[in-house]
Amino acid sequence: MCSIAGMIDLYRDVRELDLTKMRQSMRSRGPDQRGEYRSRDAALFHNRLCVIDPKNGMQPMSAALDGRHYVLIYNGEIYNTDEVRAELKLRGHEFSGHSDTEVVLKAYVEWREGCVERLNGIFAFAVWEPEARRLFLARDRMGVKPLFYTVRDGALIFASEIKGLLAHPWVTAQADRGSIRELIMTGPGRTPGCGVFKDIFEIKPAERGFFDEGGLRLERYWKLTPSPHTDSLPDTVANVRWLVTDAIRRQLVSDVPIGTFLSGGLDSGIISSVANTTMREQGRTLTTFSVDYRDNRKYFRAGKFQPNTDTDFIPGLRDWLGCENVSVTLDTDDLAEGLFEAVDARDLPGMSDVDSSLLQFCKRIREHVTVALSGECADEIFGGYPWYRDETIRAREGFPWAQSVRWRASFLRPEYAEGFDAGAYVMERYEATLADTDVLDTDGPVDRRMREMMRLNTDWFMQTLLDRKDRMSMYSALEVRVPFCDHRIAEYLYNVPWEWKEVGLS
C-alpha cells in the first residue's frame, strides 16, 4: 500500500511551487520508498509500503508506446494480476518484474479508461499523459482505497488523504455551514463524494475520469445491478463458498510477512481458516492476531448489536487452527493515548475510542507482519446486522442505524441551525440512495427492500468502516486487505433471494 498525491496545472509552471509537504504529510502510508515526477504541467508524488516486488515496483512508474508517454502513481493491490498480465503479454506488452503496479500501468496503456473494468482489487491511481496533457483518475468499485481532490484556480490537486491536500500551499482547512452540518448529521459517515472541508471532495467508489483543459469530468463505471437468480439453493451455497475462498486465497499473495485478524467471530474465523489451509499447502505458517480489553468480561453488556463478546470463541478457534496467535490486551490508558493520533490519522472527527483501539491494535500487529486480512464488509453484503433482520427497524424510513435526527440536530449552534431542516437533510441522502437502487419488476416487497438495505449499507455504513480501517492501519504502516469486499461476492449476493440468506437462522 502507498500514498499518492499530485497537482496538474495547465496554465502555470508547477515546478515553482514547493509541494514536498504533500508527500511528507502521508509518510506513514509508505515508509519504505518515495518518489516524484515533475514537469511544467504536473507534479506527482508517491510513498511506498513495499509488499510485492520491492525492486521493480518503484513509483512513479513510466511507460512509452508509439511516441506517447504515461506516468503512473498507484495505491492498492490487484488480485487478478496474473490473469491481466497474461492477457497483456498476448497483446505484445513486456514486463520487467512481477509487481501489480506495472500491470496497472500497462493495462492503462492498452485499454485506457476501460482498464478499471478488468481489475479485481482495491485501488486509487492516477496516470499522467504529457503529450495529451491530461490526467486519468480512478478508484476501486467498493471504495476501499481513498482519493480526495480539490480544484483551485483551474488546477487539480489530489491526494490519498485530506491531510495531503491541506499540505498544499494553496489549500487551507476551512469549515463552513455545510461542513458542520455534515459532521453532525451524517458523521462519522460522509455523503458520498463529500470531503467535509470547504471545496474538498472525494472521488466516489467506482468513479473514473479525466482532467484536462476542459476541466474534471467523472463518471461511474460500476454499480450493483439486479438480475434473475437462476441457481438452485445447493448451487448458490457452492458458488458463495467458491467466491469467498477464491477471494481469500488471491489476497494471500505477498513478498512480506502476512497474517489475519482473529476476533472470534464468524467472518474473521472463515478468513483465518482458509488462509491457514492455503498457507500450509505453500509451506508457510499463518499468524493470527486477536485483541481484548482489560476487564472486558466485567463491564461487557450484551445488546442486539452485539449479543456476546466474540473473544469467548478465540481460544477454540486458535486451538482448532493450530497456528500461531498473538493476543493483544488494551487498557484505558492505551485507548486514551491513541485518541489524538486517531483523529490525526482520520483527518476528521471519527469514532473516538473505537478508532483509537483499532489504531493501537494495528500498531501491535505491525510489529509482526506488514499485511493482514480482515473480515470487514461481510455483514453489509450478507445481511448480518440486526437492522437487516428486525422487520420493525428495516421498515422505517431513514438510515436504520441512525434514527436520532432530532437529537443530533440539538448539538448545532444557533448560527448553524437557523433555517436548516435537519430531517430533510438526512432524508434527502437516504432517498437519493433508494432512487439509485435498481430492482427487478419481479421482486416482491421483501427482496425489493433488502436490495435497498444492501445499498444503504454498502454506500454508507460500510464506507465508514472502510475509512476507519484504511486510516488506522495505514497510519501504522500496516496494509489491511478485506476479502469480503471482493466485488464479485457483492454482485452475486445482491441477487440471492433474501429468504435463502436466512436459511438455518429461524
**Amino acid found at 146:** P
The number of C-alpha atoms within 13 Å of 143 and in the hemisphere containing its C-beta is 24
**Amino acid found at 296:** N
Q: Are 88 and 106 in contact (CB under 8 A)?
A: yes
Residue 413: left if φ>0, alpha if ψ -120 to 50, beta else—which one? beta
User: Pick from 207, 222, 93, 272: which is nearest to 486 by CA?
Assistant: 222
DSSP state letter for 428: H
User: Pick from 70, 73, 44, 69: which is nearest to 57 by CA?
Assistant: 73
2 an active-site residue? Answer: yes
User: Pick from 191, 187, 193, 197: which is nearest to 405 by CA?
Assistant: 187
Q: Quote the CA–CA distance of 289 and 154 in Å, as a whole number.
A: 47
DSSP state letter for 310: G
Q: Quote the CA–CA distance of 406 and 408 in Å, as a whole number.
A: 5
For 50-100, strand residue ranges (E) read 61-65, 68-78
Q: Is the dihedral of CA 219, 224, 230, 232 positive or negative?
A: positive
Among 2, 50, 362, 377, the active-site one is 2
The set of cell numbers assigned to 261 is 485478524
> Strand 215-220's sheet: what is its strand order?
61-65, 68-78, 121-129, 134-139, 207-212, 215-220
Q: How far is CA 458 from CA 142, 144, 378, in A?
A: 8, 11, 10
Query: Active-site residues: which are they?
Result: 2
